[in-house]
Structure 1
Amino acid sequence: MAGVWELVADPWQLVFMRRAFTLALVTGAVCGVIGVFVVLRGMAFIGDAVAHSAFPGVAVAYAFHGNLLVGGAVAGVVTAVLIALVSQHRRLREDTVIGVFFAFAFGLGIVLVSTRDSWSTDLASFLFGQILAVSTADVWAVAVMGAALLLAATAVRKELVAVALDRETARAAGLPVLRLDLLLYVLVTVVIVMSLQAIGNVLVLALLVTPAATARMLTDRLGVMTLLSAALGASGGLLGLYVSYHRDLAAGGTIVITLTAMFAVAWLLAPRHGLLVRWLRRGRPRPVTDTGPPPVPVRAR
Structure 2
Amino acid sequence: MIDALLAPFTHGFMLQAIGTGTLVATACALLSCFIVLKGWSLLGDAISHAVLPGVVIASAIGAPLGIGAFIAGMACALGAGFIQTHSRVKEDAALGVVFTGMFAAGLVLLAFLTTEAHVTHILFGNILGIEPDEMWQTVIVGGLTLLVLAVKGRDLVLFCFDAVHARGIGLNVAALRILFLALLSAAVVAGVQAVGVILVVALLITPGCIGYLLANRFGRMAAIAVAAAVASNLLGILASYHFNVSPAGSIVVVLSTLFAVALVLAPEHGLLAARRARRRAAATL
TM-score norm. by structure 1 comes to 0.85
1:56 aligns with 2:53: yes
Corresponding position of 2:270:
274
How far the C-alpha of 1:91 sits from its partner, in A, is 4.4
1:235 aligns with 2:196: no
**Which structure has the greater CA radius of gyration?**
1
Corresponding position of 2:208:
212
Corresponding position of 2:241:
245
1:79 aligns with 2:76: yes
Paired residue for 2:97, among 95, 100, 105?
A: 100
The 3-state SS of whatever aligns with 2:27 is helix
Distance in 2, Cα, partners of 1:169 & 1:93: 24
- The aligned runs of 1:113-124 (5 Å cut-off) are 113-116=110-113, 122-124=118-120
* Percent identity (aligned): 33
The answer to which of 64-73 and 97-106 deviates more is 64-73
Aligned length: 284
For the aligned residues, what is the CA RMSD?
2.5
The answer to which of 215-224 and 167-176 deviates more is 167-176
Distance in 1, Cα, partners of 2:166 & 2:70: 29
Unaligned runs of 5+ in 1: 1-5, 290-301
How far the C-alpha of 1:243 sits from its partner, in A, is 1.0
Corresponding position of 2:22:
25
> 8 Å contact 2:206–2:259 — kept in the other structure?
yes
Corresponding position of 2:125:
129
Residue type of the alignment partner of 1:79: C
Distance in 2, Cα, partners of 1:288 & 1:67: 64
How far the C-alpha of 1:101 sits from its partner, in A, is 1.4
Residue type of the alignment partner of 2:22: L
Unaligned runs of 5+ in 2: none
Residue type of the alignment partner of 2:61: F
TM-score norm. by structure 2 comes to 0.90
Distance in 2, Cα, partners of 1:109 & 1:121: 12
Distance in 2, Cα, partners of 1:240 & 1:221: 28
The answer to which of 105-114 and 21-30 deviates more is 105-114
The answer to which of 263-272 and 162-171 deviates more is 162-171
Paired residue for 2:197, among 193, 201, 208?
A: 201
> 8 Å contact 1:84–1:185 — kept in the other structure?
no
Paired residue for 1:179, among 175, 178, 187?
A: 175
Paired residue for 2:156, among 149, 157, 160?
A: 160
Corresponding position of 1:36:
33
Distance in 2, Cα, partners of 1:30 & 1:82: 24
Corresponding position of 1:46:
43
Greater percentage in helix: 2
How far the C-alpha of 1:190 sits from its partner, in A, is 0.5
Residue type of the alignment partner of 2:238: Y
Residue type of the alignment partner of 2:143: A
Residue type of the alignment partner of 1:96: A
